[in-house]
A and B are shown apart, each in its own frame.
Chain A
Amino acid sequence: MDKLDLEIKIEKLISKGAEANIYLGTFLGYKAVFKKRVPKPYREPEFDLNLRVRRTLNEAKMLYFARKGGIPVPTLFYFDTKETLIIMEFIEGKLLSHCIKEMTVNTLKELFYKAGEIMAKLHLNSIAHGDFTTSNIINTGKELVIIDFGLSKKTSEIEEQAIDMHLLLRSLESTHYDIVNYVKNSVVEGYEDIMGKGYAQKVYERMLEIRRRGRYVKERRKKG
């Protein structure tokens, strides 16, 4: 076992996200990301532990399912629910949210078309991501890799699929409001080309319906 210990090395903290600390290191010779879900002082301890264990297990499962479905995700190396730790492949690249500013409109359209395709592929594999935003997509230069499956669900419900669509478009509206009008259609087209126009339309309409459910939404006025 000594040998194994030597081969797992955590080197440095690279990011402090909302629910986990992300460390860079090596795992059996591979460059690896260590995602450690840390306790939150604002939650009751029992509540906190339950949530972290549930999310760790869930993310590990979903990474496996997504990989099995041929969707570009980091390879799962190892996970430990007691430590609420996931070790996975390190993906070289930049978060999509960080590289939008330096891109031409045409490149952006291509990228968001691909994002729409990935979303559709997840849905075809009965995975709803649950946090599908530009901060959870890595652009490697060759392809887009989707990460952060902590809020994902194994489901084919159109409601959850529409939530994914809502979250991606919303991240465009809140963070990338200057490009939303150029790329919104690309997302929908990418999604349509995998799911088929009819089904994609249904998802889009359900998304509008979800938005109407909120209290103060303009769309509600247009109904009927």
Chain B
Amino acid sequence: MVSKRTIVLGIESTAHTFGCGIVDDEGNILADVRSVYVPEKGGIHPREAAQHHSTHCSEVVKKALAEAHISIDKVSAIAIALGPGLGPCLRSGAVIARALAVHFSKPLLPVNHAVAHIEIGKMLTGAKDPLIVYVSGGNTIIAAFSGGRYRVFGETLDIALGNCLDVFARKLGLAPPYIIEGLHVVDKYAEKGEKIIDLPYVVKGEDLSYSGLLTAALRKAREPGVRIEDLCLSFRENAYNMLVEAAERALAHTKKKEVLLTGGVGASPILQGKLKLMAKEHQAKLYITPKKYMGDNGVMIAWTGVLLYKSGITVDVKESFIKQRWRLDEVDIPWIS
């Protein structure tokens, strides 16, 4: 008897990206299609992003199926990121996922977006039991698996690292675009920085606070004689070092031998370098999620869907509410023993 291959179609729509990924149970990526909402100015406007998702969802899903060379009846289940994220965006993705599940009689798999970032990182890098550093526009979390869940050891008490960098760049008129030649504009300007300007450095246990740093740096920018390059260097040093120190505290505490970096901000080579040095000091190995899958994508949702499906976790369409504030440590992880 030929065992049936599990194929999951995953939909991501928590923030600016509408993504559809198709993955099988061996971790083969059959399709990865994305459509990203880019604001003309400023940051993400949730309603406009949702509008973008609704406009592009059907073409993205169709394209993904074509890319995978399969018809939808070969798909075992539909995975959807129900949270955390921006309400209107989550809703637009949930609508299409529910419709696909109902119309084609497929089970619906409820995926937590943060769990998905971790699971795709583990699958692609081969990390087994890492300390997780998950940094993106909306999240700054230091976590590790213990007792059936990913436990949060440290996190930001206010704004996320990515958000802090982006707002700083935007208010100084350096962005958008936020990324130049593969570097964040703040990293780019910091290259020409020469001296360190004193800015708030706020680590509380393994938690962080970025709002004070942002406010102080923006105020500093208005002072005469302050070079923008020096300010970017100082800002970046504070922002990254705070994160690395919190991760180091968590590493010393948990004694893990692996560190996994995931989430969009993880693409920064400067941050990667710092984390690598830190991990080495503690005889731990740094695993970096491949750049392509650091940011939001449908593949990570599909892969986490595979894990849910194999553990027998599905959600009734009637119960498939979006959860804007669905915390990482609220999710049971039965696939790790």
Instruction: Please give the residue numbers on chain A whose beta carbons come within 8 Å of chain B beta carbons, in ascending order.
Output: 16-19, 40-44, 46-47, 50-51, 130-133, 135, 151, 163, 166-167, 170-171, 173-175, 177-178, 210, 213-218, 220-221
- Which of A41, A46, A151, A213 is the one whose CB lies under 8 Å from B205? A151
> If the complex has contacts A18-B245, A18-B251, A43-B237, are A215 and B160 also in contact, measured as CB distance less than 8 A?
yes
**In contact, B237 and A216 (Cβ under 8 angstroms):** no
When A and B form their complex, which 5 residue pairs have the shortest distance between CB atoms, in order from nearest? A42-B274, A18-B249, A18-B252, A167-B205, A216-B84
Question: Which residue among B139, B203, B324, B328 has the maximum number of chain A CB atoms within 10 Å of its CB?
Answer: B203
* Beta-carbon nearest neighbor of A130 in chain B: B204
**In contact, A42 and B325 (Cβ under 8 angstroms):** no
Q: In the complex the two chains form, what is the Cα distance from A132 to B206 in whole Å?
A: 10
Residue interface bits B20-41, CB-to-A below 8 A is 1, else 0: 0000000000000000000000
Interface footprint category on B: 35 or more
Residues in B neighbouring A40, C-beta threshold 8 A: 245, 248, 277-278, 281
Residues in B neighbouring A175, C-beta threshold 8 A: 146, 151, 153, 253
Could you tell me which residues of chain B, from 133 to 185, have a CB within 8 Å of some CB in chain A? 138-139, 146-147, 149, 151-153, 155-160
**In contact, A131 and B204 (Cβ under 8 angstroms):** yes
Quick check: is B326 within 8 A (CB to CB) of the other chain? yes
> If the complex has contacts A47-B196, A51-B201, A132-B205, are A213 and B147 also in contact, measured as CB distance less than 8 A?
no
A204 to chain B, nearest CB (A): 16
**In contact, B204 and A215 (Cβ under 8 angstroms):** no
Q: In the complex the two chains form, what is the Cα distance from A131 to B206 in whole Å?
A: 8
B63 to chain A, nearest CB (A): 31
B282 to chain A, nearest CB (A): 8
> If the complex has contacts A135-B253, A175-B151, are A43 and B241 also in contact, measured as CB distance less than 8 A?
yes
**In contact, A218 and B325 (Cβ under 8 angstroms):** yes
> If the complex has contacts A132-B205, A214-B157, are A44 and B196 also in contact, measured as CB distance less than 8 A?
yes
Q: In the complex the two chains form, what is the Cα distance from A108 to B83 in whole Å?
A: 36
Q: In the complex the two chains form, what is the Cα distance from A18 to B325 in whole Å?
A: 31
Q: In the complex the two chains form, what is the Cα distance from A133 to B249 in whole Å?
A: 12
Q: Contacts A42-B278, A177-B149 known; list 5 others, CB within 8 Å.
A: A47-B241, A51-B201, A175-B153, A214-B155, A215-B159
Q: In the complex the two chains form, what is the Cα distance from A44 to B240 in whole Å?
A: 11
**In contact, A42 and B241 (Cβ under 8 angstroms):** yes
Quick check: is B244 within 8 A (CB to CB) of the other chain? yes
Residues in A neighbouring B84, C-beta threshold 8 A: 215-216
* Beta-carbon nearest neighbor of A167 in chain B: B205
* Beta-carbon nearest neighbor of B204 in chain A: A163
Q: In the complex the two chains form, what is the Cα distance from A43 to B196 in whole Å?
A: 11
B227 to chain A, nearest CB (A): 16
Residues in A neighbouring B275, C-beta threshold 8 A: 42
**In contact, A213 and B158 (Cβ under 8 angstroms):** yes
Residues in A neighbouring B203, C-beta threshold 8 A: 151
- Which of B147, B158, B273 is the one whose CB lies under 8 Å from A178? B147
Residues in A neighbouring B282, C-beta threshold 8 A: 16
Question: Which residue among B146, B237, B273, B330 has the maximum number of chain A CB atoms within 10 Å of its CB?
Answer: B237
Q: In the complex the two chains form, what is the Cα distance from A19 to B203 in whole Å?
A: 12
**In contact, B205 and A220 (Cβ under 8 angstroms):** no
Quick check: is B327 within 8 A (CB to CB) of the other chain? yes
**In contact, B156 and A41 (Cβ under 8 angstroms):** no
- Which of A16, A151, A174 is the one whose CB lies under 8 Å from B204? A151
22 A-B interface contacts by CB (under 8 A)? A18-B248, A19-B248, A40-B245, A40-B277, A40-B278, A42-B244, A42-B273, A43-B274, A44-B196, A46-B196, A50-B198, A130-B204, A131-B204, A163-B157, A167-B205, A170-B205, A174-B146, A174-B153, A175-B146, A175-B151, A177-B151, A218-B327
**In contact, B157 and A210 (Cβ under 8 angstroms):** yes
Residue interface bits B188-208, CB-to-A below 8 A is 1, else 0: 000000001010010111010
Residues in B neighbouring A43, C-beta threshold 8 A: 237, 241, 274
* Beta-carbon nearest neighbor of B141 in chain A: A216
Residues in A neighbouring B152, C-beta threshold 8 A: 170, 173-174
Q: In the complex the two chains form, what is the Cα distance from A170 to B281 in whole Å?
A: 26
Q: In the complex the two chains form, what is the Cα distance from A46 to B195 in whole Å?
A: 9
Q: In the complex the two chains form, what is the Cα distance from A133 to B253 in whole Å?
A: 11
**In contact, B151 and A173 (Cβ under 8 angstroms):** yes
Q: In the complex the two chains form, what is the Cα distance from A15 to B281 in whole Å?
A: 13
Residues in B neighbouring A50, C-beta threshold 8 A: 196, 198
Residues in B neighbouring A167, C-beta threshold 8 A: 204-205, 207
Q: In the complex the two chains form, what is the Cα distance from A130 to B206 in whole Å?
A: 10
* Beta-carbon nearest neighbor of B203 in chain A: A151
* Beta-carbon nearest neighbor of A212 in chain B: B325
* Beta-carbon nearest neighbor of A221 in chain B: B325
Q: In the complex the two chains form, what is the Cα distance from A178 to B160 in whole Å?
A: 29
**In contact, B325 and A220 (Cβ under 8 angstroms):** yes
**In contact, A17 and B204 (Cβ under 8 angstroms):** no
Residues in A neighbouring B244, C-beta threshold 8 A: 42
Q: In the complex the two chains form, what is the Cα distance from A149 to B209 in whole Å?
A: 19
Q: In the complex the two chains form, what is the Cα distance from A137 to B26 in whole Å?
A: 46
* Beta-carbon nearest neighbor of A45 in chain B: B196
**In contact, B205 and A216 (Cβ under 8 angstroms):** no
